[in-house]
Every structure is written in C-alpha cells, then in structure tokens.
Structure 1
C-alpha cells in the first residue's frame, strides 16, 4: 500500500479534461474563459460595492458578500489549472495539487450550500418578523451563521480530501474529468472503496439535504406569511426580496443534486463534466448578475461608484 501511495505521490494524475484540440472545442474553451472572467469581475465588484457602500451594510448583503467570496475562490480553484492544461497541451496535476484542489473545491461547495440554506432563514425573519429583525439578525448572529457555513464546508472538505488522498492508486492515472473530483478519482483506486463511497454519500446527503430542508421550511413559512398579508404591494415586495435567492438556490442545488445524489449506474463522465462546468463556472457568474440586476440597492451603489469615478477623473 505504501509503495502505491508513494508512486502516486511522485507521478500525480492526468486530467483528461473536457475539451479536445478541435476548432469547436477551442470556441467552447473561449466561451468558458469569458464566463470565468465575468464571474471573477462580477463577484469582486459585488464584494467591493458591499464593503464600500454603508447602505449595503445589512445582514442580507453581508451574506451575499460571503457567497461572492466563495464563488470567487471556487472559480479560481478550478478554471486556471484547466486553462493552463488546455493551452499548454499538458494534462498533469501533482498528487499534492490534486489534494489541494479537492480540499478547496469540497470546502467551498459545502460552505456555499450551507450558506444558501441559512440565507433562507434570514429572508424568513425579514418577512415574518420585520420589527424584530435587527435583534434576531444581529451582527453576532450574522457572524455565527457565516462562521458555521465555513466550518461545515471546511470540515467536509478536509474529511473527503484526507480519505481520497490516503487511498492507494496504481495502473491508470487518467482522471476522466477536468479537475480532481473525488468520485472520478475513486475509480482509479486499487483498494475496496465501498466504505469511503458510503462516507462520501453520507456527507453529500448531510451537506445538501440539511440546508435544503432549512430552505423548504423557511419558504413554507414565508409563503404562509405572504398569504396573510392584506396589501398586494406588500406581497409583491416580499416575494421580490426572495426571488433572487430562490433563483440562486435552484441553480446550485439542481446541479449539485444531479451530480452527487444520482445512483452510480446512471452516472456517466460526460454528463458529470458538463454539469460540473455549470456549477463551477456558470453559477458563480450568474449569482452576482442575479443579485445585482434585480436589486435596486446594488444598482444604486454601482451608479454612485461610477459617478464618483467620473467626478474624480474630471478633477
């Protein structure tokens, strides 16, 4: 077992990737890089606006800044290595590099899932208990919510990374994916992985279904509160505050559940790679657009920032 592990440590792995060298795939790669750039700029800009504008120093925008930070780190964990491998023609990744990528990826995806779940609770408090909102969502509570999201995600990431990196690997080192993903890596293991498969599935169930149950429970109560509102305008405003979060939840959980909660016999590498592109690159690009284009406060902060830049450049 030690010989296999040392061999894997020296040789690393080969990431087969998602693109070939055809013209069509060059075009698709270019699209992914444009999406990556928009995701990078969009999330960085949103974090900056929330930090700089005092009007956005509220619990909802604090959570949104954390979400953007997670998305920013997620795309930086996956896309640069994929781009370097594609452009250079090399497809290798070191054993340590693979472990680091797994750790960051699972930590960030897990943290984002938990945060999206707890953000639903924030919306519930804002709509159902508006007068008590400043007390129920104090700065201390917000920090606890953000901290618990990061803690759950990082713990899950460390467990899965340690498990995957402790397995012996031999023969083929070809990972049929564009990044080091645990299920794709397990196919190359020389040992019985049934116990680790069960642990992996249990972690996925916990990290996906627990936050998702919080979302369902929160929105059930939100719906009840909205239906009891007498003013049609108040109902419309309440639903508008939830629409962006619901869109982000649908994108994230739809892709994650498709990847991790399907039975093994229905999984194919091609489907996994396409859906992985969706939630590792496309969703991080869409999140800041969803929250900014449909949000007056964020658009107001952006216009204020642009006006300040114009005024500064004239002087």
Structure 2
C-alpha cells in the first residue's frame, strides 16, 4: 500500500525538465541538439530550481549535473553553455553542496586531458568551471593552480572565443578565491594575462584580459611585486589608445584600481608574504604614470594649436 502511494506522487517540474534534458543528451548521438530547444529548456530548469525545495533538488541533482556536463561536452553554443553553467551552479547551491568538489575535479580533468581539442566543448567546460569558482571559490582554492595551468593551455587555441573563455574562467577563479590561494598561482595567472592576454589580436580577448587586471586590483594584488604592478599600470596606459572603445574603458577601470592599490602598499601585502615597498616610491607612480602623461598630452595639443595659428 505504501509503495502504491509513493508511486502515485507526481513528478516535480524540476524532475520532468531533468528527464527531458537527459533525453536530449542521449539522442545527441543520432541528432545534434537543437540550440533553441536547449535554451528554452535550460531557462525553465533555472527557474524551476528556485521553486523546488531542497529535498526535491537532491533527488534529481546527480542526474541533472551529469546531463548538464554531457551537454557542455557535446559543444553547446554560447547562450546554451552560459545557461548550462548557471543551472549547474544553482543546483549545487540549493542541493547537496558537497558535490562541488567532485564536479570541479571532473571539469578540470576533462580540460586537462591533452586529447581535448574541440573548441566549443573546451569553451563550454571552461565557462562552467569559471562559474563554479565564482560561486564556490573559497571551497575549491586547492585546485586554483591546476585551473590556471588549464587557462594557459586554452590560450593556445586559434579560436578567439576559447581564449576569451579561458581568461574569463581565470578572472572568476581569481575573484572567487580572493587572496587565499598560493602566491605562485597568482604570479602565474598574472604572467598569462600580461604575456598573451593583453596583446591578443582579438578585442574580446583583450577585454577579458583587462578585466583580469581589474580583478587583481580588487583582491589586493596577491603574488604581485612592485615590478609586476608597475608593468601592469604602464600597459594599461598604453591600452588607452586601443581602437575598440570597450577595451579602452576596461583598461581605464583596471588602471584606476591598480593605481589605488599602488598608493596603498599596506593593503597589497596584507595576504602575501613579501618585502614591503616604501609608500613614497609607489606614490611617485601616480605622478609618473597618471598625471605627467596627461599634462604632456595637453601641452602637445597647445603647441600644435599655437603652430597652426602661427602658420596662418
């Protein structure tokens, strides 16, 4: 009798959507999933997570996570992989949070595999891993070094959207972990951004690199010494003449954060063991890198105008 009553319990909306998602993934071998269908289904799935209770989410959580993971590996387009990543995070947040460790490990393992070279799949998995760090960064800080190594690998792809997602993943990992990771990991992350990110041919990659520099400033520049900090400031100034306005704006925001950090060395060394740089030396950088260049530009503009008037 009790068994019949249990069977009579209607399937939750969340459970129905997970079952539909599973069906799409299983049939993907014969037919490529329709992007619009996946987008609508994932939109409903994200909304249903907010409506379901924790017990109902936990009942379907593992199946949901596996289906979302499989969808990302299949090579979902940008809107779909974005929603799939959001759904993954929401489900783990509201369900059993312990699964974050195994899920991050599986995402890292897939990306670290040297045979993985499908651009759409790599971009999707990287996007999801970045979302996991954004939401649970403090809990998975131990994997930060591996994630940064993965970002370096993805920056070698020819597809600019993969390089962009690699830097966005890096940005979210820095933000999520704050300054709690190992100093060497932050140093390597900064090296990736400065050596290949800020000089990339694609403006979407340079934009992502600028946001990484801003995040470094927001988390007090862990792992960065005075040379790295000054080098970042110098490049941000150079990037203010970038041909793309959104890139110029992003580097301007990063410049402001880095200069503020340079003027407050006590904040910078708070979480990292390194020699304190005298405050006066850092304050000189405000005059050197911010005030003088603009004074010079104004003077050159005045001289150009005077020269034109003199010729007339």
**TM-score in terms of structure 2 length:** 0.25
Q: Which has the higher contact order (CA 8 A, sep 6+)?
A: 1
Larger Rg: 2
**TM-score in terms of structure 1 length:** 0.25
